[in-house]
Amino acid sequence: MEENLTKALSIVSVVFCSILAISLFFILYDKNIETVNIVNSNVADRGAVYQSNSNAIIPNQVSGAAITGSITNGLETDILIGTITVTKSTSPDTFDFSLIDNNAIYSTEYILNEFGEITMIKYIKR
């Protein structure tokens, strides 16, 4: 008799704990969605938490140092720096790098052929 009572109590306590765990999960899950919505609305109201760099370079602009680096590493297409054309076969050893102002910002323009391939990149000093 005592064994049956112990077994029944253990089964009842396991069922009770299971029901309690499932109930708490659903109660806390609803609160979780509510908390996430509150946080998202507060972030949207106050703006971004991080600071952005106000001096960031726009994607169609590059520095003169980047142009110098691309010539040094080898060109894939011809480039035009101001009025000076640099062909892709130009050797970095013979190129006069004093023509490029490394501290300046250059805007880029891509010249495409009829197939959509880049044939030349124009760099214009800003």
Q: Is the pLDDT of residue 79 over 70?
A: yes
Q: In angstroms, rounded to a whole number, what is the distance separating the alpha carbons of residues 79 and 3?
A: 90
Say if CB 33 and CB 81 are below 8 A apart. no
Letter string b/e over residues 19-36, b meaning 16 or more CB atoms within 10 A of that residue's CB: eeeeeeeeeeeeeeeeee
Q: In angstroms, rounded to a whole number, what is the distance separating the alpha carbons of residues 122 and 125?
A: 10
Residue with more model confidence, 3 or 29: 3
Domain edges within the chain: 1-50, 61-125
Average pLDDT of the segment spanning 3-22: 91
Average pLDDT of the segment spanning 1-27: 88
Q: In angstroms, rounded to a whole number, what is the distance separating the alpha carbons of residues 9 and 19?
A: 15
Q: In angstroms, rounded to a whole number, what is the distance separating the alpha carbons of residues 66 and 41?
A: 41
Q: What is the pLDDT of residues 97-120, one digit of tens each?
A: 888 988 999 999 998 888 888 899
Q: What is the pLDDT of residues 25-52, one digit of tens each?
A: 778 777 777 777 877 777 666 665 555 5
The pTM assigned to this predicted structure is 0.52
